[in-house]
Structure 1
Amino acid sequence: MMLNDRVDALVSPKGALEMLSQDEIARMSEDSGELHELFRRCSLAILNCGSDSDDPTEIMSVFKDFEIRIIQQERGVKLELKNAPGSAFVDGKMISSVREMLFSVLRDIIFTYHEYNLSRGLGEASSDKITNVVFELLRNANVFRRIQSPDMIVCWGGHSIARHEYDYTKQVGHELGLRELNICTGCGPGAMKGPMKGAAIAHAKQRLNNGVYLGLTEPGIIAAESPNPIVNQLVIMPDIEKRLEAFVRTGHGIVVFPGGAGTAEEILYLLGILLHPKNDGIPYPLVFTGPKESAAYFEQIDEFIGAVLGEAAQAKYQIIIDDAVEVSRVMKRGMEEVRLYRKAHQDAFYYNWKLHVPDEFQRPFEPTHENVRGLNLHFGQDTHLLAADLRRAFSSIVAGNVKPQGVASIKELGPFEIHGDKGLMRKLDALLQAFVEQQRMKLPGSAYVPCYKVVTD
């Protein structure tokens, strides 16, 4: 993290918002207090993408003198930066990828807020309305492409992983890229960066100059997981639920690498959806993979899923250890299955309309102490409903670990208390303890203080 290098700059749009009406510019230029502070935090995360910290309060403290202002002009809009991190510039000129992502932040935080009246929220919206909003936000970000066959592989995994695990994610990304597949991740470091880096090299070998490295994030987490510079399409969804829906609707298959609470949240989200009766028969290639040293990690995950969600959930994925070539071949074969299914059912290749995302997976969950205590973590209910509340439990842990509001809540009120069936809680506690021991909750070298307490008695 650069402590002394500061730059002032006036920046023009690139990649987004080059053409706006005067009315749109006027609405964006309004200073709306909390919204501007959110815009400032997310912009700082983009400008500080070389940081090795996952503590948003530390980043904000180091760059507390940073400011950003929207400048309204007749020909459009510019951004005025004061005391910006010098790592975003080369010889006084902003790095192109940083400039593109900076205006993606402006589009997704300020422009989207006003255009979609997000201040009113979508609390009363139907499930179909939420799915359409997710579609429109991705369309406005120019994510969709006219393609002849499905090719987007979502890669999930932790930002805090060992070096050998990171190297393996690059190998898998490289093999996927050699097969002309594109990559979508949560856009941060670790398992979110490695596949993109590997695929970028492979795309260069294949002389592909239009490779897609799509990064999907949300405001609460971007400061702790700043986008890596390989991302060439960045979208900041309004909340974690819409981010997750964007993953499963734009992706054609998913590869899961080792991770922590956030990765477990993503796994439970997808399995909960795939377990819903309405999604029976929809092909969705899903592979868990890692180097041979990570075999025990996936044994733990698989055992936990089997114990709490059953064999039906385990049947939704394959586990492939230390074989990047086989992972990529499985995904490539899976793309043909997806293509045939989408064609037969007249579904779009660029957006998975047929997939049913239940209401329980769409409604934003606020991780307060009261809401966490109230989660229904008991057997005797539909497995997709249990998966939904387990997902919320892991989402709360992510919030307590890295999101500013969650971190502040833990400091004020102490750890979240997670209650449920004793047997389930013991399984959950054992899995979380393994994450802690393997340093999957925070970046290596950072002392981890649990933000949760699993009540097992």
Structure 2
Amino acid sequence: MNDSDQSILPTVDAHIYPRGALDVLSRDEVARLRDASIGGMHELLRRCALAVLTSGSASDDPRAARELYPDFDIQVLQQDRGVRIDLVKAPAMAFVDGDIIRGVAELLFAVVRDLAYTAIELREGHGSRDLSTSEGITDAVFGLLRNARILHPIDPNLVVCWGGHSINRDEYLYTKQVGYELGLRGLDICTGCGPGAMKGPMKGATIAHAKQRHRRMRYIGITEPGIIAAESPNPIVNHLVIMPDIEKRLEAFVRMGHGIIVFPGGVGTAEEILYLLGILLREENAGLPFPLIFTGPQASAAYFEQIDRFLRLTLGEAATSRYRIIVGDPAAVAKKMAAGIRKVREYRIAEKDSFYFNWSLEIPLTFQQPFVPTHEAMAALDLHHGRKPHELAADLRRAFSGIVAGNVKEDGMRRIEEHGPFKIHGDTDMMQSLDALLRAFVEQRRMKISGAYRPCYEVVA
């Protein structure tokens, strides 16, 4: 391993030999990771690997890392005795005294593992999975998680924490306090793997787990290729999984998690809330225990009041019965969540469902099919009263997903640059409430970590 010539920032050339799940890759897997000309994934691998190697970055611009390290490259090579990963002009911040940081290396191996699996197992026409059916998509999600070796038959204890990557200092410290209280109760943490509310709970839990001598702690980060470059994995994540798209990422959260805590956030957090509530409001899931808590410091009370008003207006009063708002009390949040997870355990035993994957949850195909946020698709969303709550939730989720794409995903940002902002249409009162919510996100700086925010959307009543 030798220092290479400096491009823009200090860089390193390195050869890395993965251990464990990456000891063996097929020739087909290696070829697809190397060569885009045969339907390969090299450019995607390069982008995701660079995001991992710049773990801890404060930027949420997916193009920033590539501009700082324009000559970075990664090659996956098959050798007689296993696999070798070659890094060319890699960020020096990922190395200490010439050796790659162990945690960063593990995340890098996870990138190669998941992209290799997707390239082969989920390609069109492969195997028995039919990705046009709900059952086939759920089976694909299960397969990806099992291949990542994070499905373990242990007692339910996994809390999914959602919230924004761009939050203020008080909100961040509060997420750490909640994570600490969860850790004291033996609960593990799963987040979207990025900074802000995705990092805080993990950081708080590490201290509590150490105090309780909890030695097999899980800090699971679930992301997808379109967003990893804007939200690089935080350094506490010890199990990284890259799902192929946002819909499979969301399904992975609700299939794996035994309860969910929502901290203050922006459009991505609103998308996650609508996804889960849309599923829980279906008749098939009415009796399914799924603890859901909205929480933040006392200063964030107005934020949750506005979220609550929006949900009541759009999805109706029934939606409010599926969540609890607790403000300014980390211990109460953890106690409520622990009690809810005990009910989940009892239900899974009674229904003979697994502890590690929520098969009982019915997720309709409309929540699973990938949504491509083109200008035409965004304008065609049916955001009107009179629809069933779960159907309206599905389209509202897509609206927020499109704004996320316009904010931080490269494809979405390119569409906005070429064709202007997305136009979102709907009933007047619904659009007024949506516009007020989005304006609040902008004013509270929840759309972007740094710099002025230019809206990628236009709300039309």
Q: Same fold (TM over 0.5)?
A: yes
- Higher alpha-carbon deviation: 33-42 or 170-179: 33-42
Q: Does 2:184 match 1:178?
A: yes
Q: Match of 2:54?
A: 48
Instruction: Look up the match of 2:12.
Output: 7
Task: Flag as ranges the 4+ runs of structure 1 deviating above 6 A.
Answer: 119-123
Question: Residue 193 of structure 1 corresponds to which residue in structure 2?
Answer: 199
User: Among residues 160, 163, 169, which one is paired with 1:157 in the alignment?
Assistant: 163
- C-alpha change, 1:87 and 1:118, in structure 2 (3 Å) is farther
Query: In the alignment, what sits opposite 1:279?
Result: 285
After TM superposition, give the deviation of residue 115 of structure 1 in Å: 2.6
Match of 1:448 among 447, 453, 458: 453
Aligned partner of 1:362 in structure 2 is 368
Which residue number corresponds to residue 258 of structure 2?
Answer: 252
User: Offset of 1:15 from its aligned partner?
Assistant: 5.1
Structure 1 residue 75: Cα displacement: 1.2
- 1:129 corresponds to which of 133, 136, 147: 136
- CA, structure 1 residues 98+296, in 2 after alignment: closer, same or farther (shift >3 Å)? same
Question: CA 1:120–1:221 in structure 2 vs 1: closer, same or farther (change >3 Å)?
Answer: farther
2:82 is aligned with 1:76: yes
The answer for the alignment partner of 1:144 in structure 2 is: 151
CA distance in 2, matches of 1:447, 1:92: 38
After superposition, the C-alpha distances for 1:96-125 in whole angstroms (9 at most, x for unaligned) are 111011111111113321232159898852
CA distance 1:28–1:45, shift in 2 (3 Å): closer
* Equivalence for 1:332: 338
Aligned-residue offset at 1:21 = 4.7
Flag structure 1 segments of 5+ consecutive residues without an equivalent: none
1:228 aligned to 223, 234, 239, which one?
Answer: 234
Pick closer, same or farther for the CA change 1:119–1:110 going to 2, 3 Å.
Answer: farther
Counterpart amino acid of residue 455 in structure 1: V
CA distance in 2, matches of 1:52, 1:303: 32
Query: Is the 1:15–1:103 contact (alpha carbons within 8 Å) kept by the matching residues of 2?
Result: no
Residues 158-199 of structure 1 show CA distances to partners (whole Å, capped at 9, x for unaligned) of 000001100000000000000000000000000000000111
For 1:170 and 1:223, how far apart are their aligned partners in 2? Answer: 24
Residue from 310, 324, 327 that aligns with 1:321: 327
Which of 403, 415, 418 is the aligned partner of 1:409?
415
Partner of 2:99: 93
Relative to structure 1, the CA distance from residue 163 to residue 15 in structure 2 (aligned partners, 3 Å threshold; closer, same or farther) is: farther
Give the distance between the partners of 1:35 and 1:3, measured in 2 at CA: 26
Q: Residue 204 of structure 1 corresponds to which residue in structure 2?
A: 210
Q: 1:413 to 1:31 in 2, by over 3 A?
A: closer
Q: Which moved more, 1:262-271 or 1:445-454?
A: 445-454
Equivalent residues of 1:166, 1:194 under 8 A apart: yes
- Residues 11, 80 of structure 1: 8 Å contact kept: yes
Q: Which AA in structure 2 matches 1:138?
A: L
**1:387-433 Cα distance to aligned partner (Å, 9 max, x none):** 00000000000000000000011001000000011111111000000
Task: Report if aligned partners of 1:14, 1:100 keep a CA contact under 8 Å in 2.
Answer: no
Give the superposed CA RMSD.
1.7
Contact 1:272 1:385 in 2 (8 A): yes
Amino acid in structure 1 at the alignment position of 2:195 = P
| Larger displacement relative to structure 2 (420-429 or 54-63) | 54-63
Q: Partner amino acid for 2:265?
A: G
The number of aligned residues is 453
Q: 2:24 is matched with which residue: 2, 15, 19? A: 19
Matched letter for residue 428 of structure 1: L
Q: Distance in 2 between matches of 1:415 and 1:430?
A: 17
**Percent identity over the alignment?**
61
**SS at structure 2 position matched to 1:50:** coil
| Partner SS, residue 16 of structure 1 | helix
Distance 1:342 1:242 in 2: 23
> Which consecutive unaligned segments of at least 5 residues does structure 2 have?
1-6
Distance in structure 1 (CA, Å) of the matches to 2:19 and 2:438? 42
Native 8 Å contact 1:29 1:72 kept in 2: no
Change (3 A) 1:21 1:67: closer
Matched residue type, 1:160? S
